[in-house]
Structure 1
Amino acid sequence: MKKLEEMSLEELWQLFPIYLTEHKHVWRSWYEEEQALLRERLPEPQVRRISHAGSTAIETIWAKPIVDIIVETEEDSDWQNISSILESIGYRCMSRTDKRLSFNKGYTENGFADKVYHLHLRYFGDNDELYFRDYLKEHQEIAKEYEELKLELWKIYEHNRDAYTDKKTAFVKKYTGAAKSAYKGRYS
């Protein structure tokens, strides 16, 4: 059996298809458990905020059963140390830029584990997802539109995460902009 690191993107998309389900209340407890672990393990003065983002944080819409977590740090934080800590508790770094690192947990050679997480390591204030989340929570008609879009795209792009995400981008940008205007300074 191939290790995940040896698989092509196409093989990974086959092993980890997009799958949506009705909201599960257990997702909140998954987040809270993981948040407690992160608070215990990560260097407190460097971590400014840990947040539950993504559709699993919105109780009224269908979502991929993957809990998105944003960890915001000070700009002078030691991301190498933070990455090592995250890897020691089961996270794998999936992408890296100068200002963002993305990790996942719960991906195995046999498919998804029972609990799956995406962790986004960012500098404090790089948190558009929190504005979008709040906007959908407070505007149920927009949340339902988002759910309908995701359900429409699901089967078309079940094995192509990049295309699935790309097709949602205009919607997400539109309402993130509206949210940042409506909630100016909420997360700064």
Structure 2
Amino acid sequence: MIEYLQHTEEITAREIIAVQQPAYIKEAELIGFDGIPALQEKPKDIQASHEQFAGYRKEGKLIGVISYEKNMHHLTICRLVVHPDGFRKGIGRALLQFVIDQNEDAEKIEVVTAEENTPAVSLYAKAGFQKAETIKAAEGLLLSVFHLYPERKVEVVPYNEKWAEYFNEEKERLKLVLGPEIVAVHHIGSTSISNMAAKPIIDILIEVKTIEAVSQYDTQMKAIGYTPKGENGIAGRRYFQKGGNKRTHHVHVYEKGNPAIERHLLFRDYLRAHPKIAEEYAVLKKRLAAQHPDCINQYIQGKDGWIKTAEKNAKRWKEGRNNADGSVVCYNSENDENGGLTL
């Protein structure tokens, strides 16, 4: 059984020491280095730690411990120890997976272990960690740094009427930060289309006066939970993510007049005006999510062809030509109550 530990309590801190002391003694013998700092730790050191601790208990006895620190969406594993009585029973792997599962928003997980600690190196490699670098920590001691970049989970859920409310709430927060630069704020993406199944991420498009001025607000954006990503592959854009790998919001910022603004709004209004086409898109997304639940890139690639075709049809629709469903309409972007249509 794995549970979070109240390490600030003395009795729990003593339990942790009782596990890690013999574990680190064994590691010291294995790597031929007896200067492991944790060997000198006392219960009071554990109690004073800012790490988050979890433990594996068998019949009530603590036999495995893992601890970590988290800064935004970067997680660092500080210790992973198993009492010698629990060696080679899958306890270390279970503790590691517990931390990964409990931190679904983590974009990067880092851990450091002695290069000669072959059981630990093997454990991290099997869990998908990649060696990033080797550090010389002391004479005769080399440390291996491992990184894991968890894939975002692909989840498409039924339409939620609160998505519009979530957009409005976030719009007000963003106005407090970017207010002096804002020209307009739009709800875009699938969560902006009534009755459409979607990934539960609120996409927000902000038009600003000058795109170069946006970067000066990065610190304030971080303060309300966003990660600034710069252009992130699209020239003329500033992009922000919220929620790490458990994404909740995307903010796309463009300077007023950028063609991408019209493209996003037109795609949204086209689907709002054509429920049958919107449903076709929803069916595609559900199928792709089922096929690629652990690979967001394949999910995105699977939609690419459909989106390009829909964008071409949306342009024809705007120009008043025959649509994919055979109807002819005239586009009016100011007529929001009717999905941008003058019938």
* TM-score bracket relative to the smaller structure: 0.7 to 0.9
The residue type equivalent to 2:246 in the other structure is F
Q: 1:168 to 1:75 in 2, by over 3 A?
A: same
Q: Which amino acid aligns with 1:121?
A: V
Counterpart CA distance in 2 for 1:48 and 1:179 is 24
Amino acid in the other structure paired with 2:185? I
Partner of 2:133: none
Greater RCO, 1 or 2 (C-alpha within 8 Å, sep 6+): 1
Q: Aligned-pair distance for 1:95?
A: 5.3
Instruction: Tell whether the 8 Å contact from 1:71 to 1:121 is kept in structure 2 after alignment.
Output: yes
1:17 alignment counterpart: 153
Distance 2:206 2:250 in 1: 11
Q: Which runs of 5+ in 1 are unaligned?
A: none
Given the alignment, which residue of 221, 238, 244 partners 1:101? 238
> Which residue number corresponds to residue 74 of structure 1?
209
Quote the offset at 1:142 in angstroms: 0.5
**Aligned residue pairs: how many?**
179
Residue pairs, 1:106-121, within 5 angstroms: 106-107=243-244, 112=246, 116-121=248-253
The answer (yes or no) to whether the contact 1:53–1:69 under 8 Å persists in 2 is yes
In structure 2, distance between residues paired with 1:55 and 1:10: 30
Structure 2 Cα separation of the partners of residues 10 and 157 of structure 1: 20
Alpha-carbon offset, residue 60 of structure 1: 1.6
Q: Distance in 1 between matches of 2:217 and 2:207?
A: 11
C-alpha change, 1:68 and 1:76, in structure 2 (3 Å) is: closer
Q: CA RMSD in A?
A: 2.5
Say whether 1:161 aligns with 2:270: no
- Mapped partners of 1:133, 1:112: distance in 2: 24
The equivalent residue for 1:40 is 176
1:82 aligns to what SS in structure 2? helix
Alignment match, 1:53: 188
Give 2:266's aligned residue: 131
Q: CA 1:145–1:118 in 2, change beyond 3 Å: closer, same or farther?
A: same
**Is 2:282 aligned against 1:147?**
yes
* Distance in 1 between residues matched to 2:333 and 2:218, nearest whole Å: 28
* In 2: Cα distance, 1:102 partner to 1:160 partner: 21
> How far apart are the structure 2 equivalents of 1:90 and 1:123?
23
Counterpart of 1:103 in 2: which secondary structure? strand
Work out whether residues 107 and 149 of structure 2, in 8 Å CA contact, stay in contact via their aligned partners in 1. Answer: no
Is the Cα contact below 8 Å between 2:187 and 2:205 reproduced in 1? yes
- Of the structure 1 ranges 172-181 and 157-166, higher mean CA displacement relative to structure 2 is found in 172-181
For the residues of structure 1 that align with 2:227 and 2:287, how far apart are their CA atoms? 30
Matched residue of 1:60: which SS? coil
Output the TM-score relative to the length of structure 2. Answer: 0.48
**Counterpart in 1 of 2:108?**
6
What is the CA–CA distance in structure 1 between the aligned matches of 2:246 and 2:228, rounded to whole Å? 16
* Aligned residue in 2 for 1:28: 164
| 1:71 maps to amino acid | I
TM-aligned CA distance change 1:159 to 1:37, over 3 Å: same
| Alpha-carbon offset, residue 10 of structure 1 | 7.2
Alignment-mate amino acid for residue 29 of structure 1: E
TM-score by length of 1: 0.83
SS in 1 for 2:179: coil
1:125-158 Cα shifts (integer Å, max 9, x gaps): 3222221111111001110110111011012121
CA distance in 1, matches of 2:237, 2:150: 22
Counterpart of 1:21 in structure 2: which amino acid? V
